[in-house]
Structure 1
């Protein structure tokens, strides 16, 4: 249930800030919670992902599959230094730091993300995310790239 305070806070935030906060909450909930924020015609880009065997460009279904594999492996991400910058009416850049302990390895996953996204009909229809692949390999696979590929439902290309 949304409280009056939450409604009032939403009034002072722009659409990008609101959906980005929902995205961060969804990443700690489920693949379904995240995908519900994305337009069916969405494009998701991870420019550095090919080094991990992940396709750098994903459609809606590929993104959902990726989320189903990865999210259970990084529970309860704690976010800090959240910043959202509006570029134009529908385009935003965001920065956030996050960390969580990976259950399968016991490693602390620390990541700084930079994201660009656009909105269409109140949903994310383009999403580009920059992150450090080394931090992923270290935390999720103890340095083993094949373990990381299995976690995120990816294969070597």
Structure 2
């Protein structure tokens, strides 16, 4: 992989997501790269370990969400050259309901040799479930006790 900055890697990822090439998005992860979702709820995973777990997680995304545009994107440098904070907004439509959505994200991204080593995504599970028409199911899953 050609070395690139975290911002370049993130922008490449967004372009591939808009093109619905989830396999290529997964290929941006280092083999041992991590994806973390600290606010995940219900059946959504909180951590994905390695490129192949990321690939499996991303595979169904185009059948769920039709991301059509990045309505806002701001990249904030940190005191580490391999890490940036990205604030971004995706718009599109939910495939199951054809309803439009607008979702906001904050991502802390660390890249080594052009590959993602850590992707920490602070998204709202309530907003995502509402956009996908699954808010009732998410709320129901939060009330269940694991046995």
State the TM-score, normalizing by the size of structure 1: 0.77
Confirm or deny: 8 A CA contact 1:105 1:142 kept in the other structure: no
Aligned counterpart, 1:120: 112
- In structure 1, what is the Cα distance between the partners aligned to 2:133 and 2:54? 21
How far residue 142 of structure 1 moved from its aligned partner, in angstroms, is 4.3
How far residue 85 of structure 1 moved from its aligned partner, in angstroms, is 1.5
2:88 corresponds to 1:90: no
- In structure 1, what is the Cα distance between the partners aligned to 2:52 and 2:7? 25
How far residue 122 of structure 1 moved from its aligned partner, in angstroms, is 1.3
Aligned counterpart, 2:25: 34
SS of the aligned residue for 2:38 comes to coil
Confirm or deny: 8 A CA contact 2:63 2:95 kept in the other structure: no
Confirm or deny: 8 A CA contact 1:73 1:104 kept in the other structure: yes
RMSD, aligned α-carbons: 2.1
How far residue 76 of structure 1 moved from its aligned partner, in angstroms, is 3.6
More helix by share: 1
2:46 corresponds to 1:56: yes
Confirm or deny: 8 A CA contact 2:36 2:46 kept in the other structure: yes
The 4+ residue runs of structure 1 with deviation greater than 2 A are 141-146
- In structure 2, what is the Cα distance between the partners aligned to 1:103 and 1:53? 20
Confirm or deny: 8 A CA contact 2:6 2:114 kept in the other structure: no
Aligned counterpart, 2:65: 74
Gaps of 5+ in 1: 1-13, 150-155
More strand by share: 2
Confirm or deny: 8 A CA contact 2:30 2:117 kept in the other structure: yes
1:105 to 97, 105, 110: 97
Gaps of 5+ in 2: none
- In structure 1, what is the Cα distance between the partners aligned to 2:100 and 2:134? 11
How far residue 141 of structure 1 moved from its aligned partner, in angstroms, is 2.7
